[in-house]
């Protein structure tokens, strides 16, 4: 994901003439297919800045996609400007993608409305509490798996899926017991849904674990029961099940509260105790980088740390005031993307750089960030 500090502000001036290379080849003297092979090793920001024909190539289906931020957003309580209906429909959640090359936000296509689509972020009876809307990324797909309706029922009987490279929404296999919240995560391109709460508490659901394997052909998709939890303690609230090295790791309570952890061994279909050091330092939102390393933000200290499995401890990466009270994080392409308190901005930390760099991305006007993900850019024919 090519993002720089300067990308947070979009230039309004087009640096080249609209008529440049309109009818020409990409590189004079070379067939376009060979030119594309030459361009594939160049920085996307360079291709974007040279001419329109190169910019169109950058966003074409035939060119390797760069990675972008995808965000679930909700209207602010008191926005400074009214938002048009086409941007914020009746659902209180909208989906946008931030293009780091052009430094611009683009709305995703509207999700299917059949069945009726409504994900509730706030309810008049619970003004001080935001209702969870759980999403994850699997095999370059954005998946929304659990949420709540206006009547406080589960909003999704099947996962809602978006595929960026085709710009298409669709529904996954039907969930046997839809949830308002659960423990959700993925490992090895398989989605896992553990425990949770539907329209009311059910003990068998609270102890359950199910998987949906996206490696299978679409006609063979379905949910499969796996080894259940020993009790229903993970049904208290929405939590992340973080996939790392063939295991799913999760804790039953968010933040700095006293908690217990559990680890699911994917290969053995077996639950294990979480290491003492891991659960002790799991004090905020967590995510895995390429299913190889787990990162967590201590929401009180604003400290981003990486888990060391050999020493069973968390190693500090960086501590920032901006990361205090972080509500959600995503990891990808060497970067940690954190949703700040109240969804006011996204803080991006490049953990590959030494010293570690960070910068901020502002959400679209009148909207606050609920969750972020890292996925390939959407196909576009407008550049």
pLDDT band (50, 70, 90) for residue 156: very high
In terms of phi and psi (left: phi > 0; alpha: psi -120 to 50; beta: otherwise), the region of 58 is alpha
Sheet holding 94-99, edge to edge: 104-107, 94-99, 67-75, 367-376
Residue 285 in any domain: the answer is yes
Which stretch of 48-52, 144-148, 205-209, 221-225 has the lowest confidence by average pLDDT? 48-52
Residue 82 in any domain: the answer is no
Which pTM value belongs to this model?
0.86
Name the domain count of the chain.
1
CATH value at residue 161: 2.120.10.80
Mean predicted confidence (pLDDT) in 130-148: 96
Q: Residue 190's domain spans which residues?
A: 114-323
Closest CA to 291 of 185, 143, 212: 185
Residue 9 in any domain: the answer is no
Residue 160 in any domain: the answer is yes
Residue 16 in any domain: the answer is no
Question: Which tokens go with 225?
Answer: 């029961």
Predicted local confidence at residue 261, as pLDDT = 97
Largest CA distance in the chain: 69
Mean pLDDT across the chain:
87
Residue 330 in any domain: the answer is no
Which stretch of 60-64, 156-160, 205-209 has the lowest confidence by average pLDDT? 60-64
The answer to whether 225 and 207 are in contact (CB under 8 A) is no
**Residue 291 to residue 71: CA distance in whole angstroms:** 21
Residue 314 in any domain: the answer is yes
Residue 90 in any domain: the answer is no
pLDDT at 276 over 60: yes
pLDDT at 248 over 60: yes
């Amino acid at each position: 994901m090519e993002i720089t500090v300067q990308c947070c502000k979009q230039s309004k001036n087009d640096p080249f003439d609209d008529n440049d290379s309109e009818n020409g080849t990409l590189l004079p003297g070379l067939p376009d297919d060979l030119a594309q092979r030459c361009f594939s090793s160049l920085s996307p920001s360079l291709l974007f800045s040279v001419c329109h024909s190169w910019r169109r190539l950058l966003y074409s289906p035939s060119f390797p996609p760069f990675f972008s931020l995808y965000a679930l957003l909700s209207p602010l309580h008191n926005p400074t400007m009214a938002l048009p209906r086409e941007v914020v429909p009746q659902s209180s959640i909208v989906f946008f993608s931030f293009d780091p090359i052009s430094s611009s936000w683009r709305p995703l296509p509207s999700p299917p409305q059949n069945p009726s689509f409504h994900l509730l972020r706030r309810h008049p009876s619970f003004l001080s509490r935001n209702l969870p809307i759980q999403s994850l990324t699997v095999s370059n797909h954005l998946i929304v798996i659990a949420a709540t309706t206006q009547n406080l029922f589960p909003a999704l009987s099947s996962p809602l899926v978006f595929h960026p490279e085709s710009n298409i929404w669709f529904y996954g296999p039907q969930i046997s017991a839809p949830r308002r919240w659960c423990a959700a995560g993925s490992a090895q391109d398989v989605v896992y849904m553990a425990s949770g709460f539907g329209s009311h508490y059910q003990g068998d659901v609270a102890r359950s674990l199910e998987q949906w394997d996206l490696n299978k052909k679409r006609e063979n998709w379905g949910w499969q029961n796996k080894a259940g939890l020993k009790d229903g303690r993970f049904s208290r609230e929405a939590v992340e099940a973080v996939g790392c090295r063939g295991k799913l790791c999760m804790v039953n309570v968010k933040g700095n509260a006293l908690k217990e952890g559990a680890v699911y061994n994917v290969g053995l279909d077996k639950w294990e105790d979480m290491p003492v050091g891991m659960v002790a330092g799991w004090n905020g939102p967590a995510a895995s980088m390429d299913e190889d390393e787990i990162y967590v933000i201590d929401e009180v200290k604003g400290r981003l740390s990486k888990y060391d499995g050999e020493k069973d401890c968390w190693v500090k990466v960086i501590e920032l005031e901006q990361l205090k009270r972080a509500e959600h994080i995503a990891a990808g392409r060497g970067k940690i993307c954190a949703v700040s308190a109240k969804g006011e901005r996204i803080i991006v930390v490049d953990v590959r750089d030494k010293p570690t760099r960070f910068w901020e991305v502002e959400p679209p006007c009148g909207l606050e960030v609920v969750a972020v993900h890292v996925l390939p850019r959407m196909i576009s024919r407008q550049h």
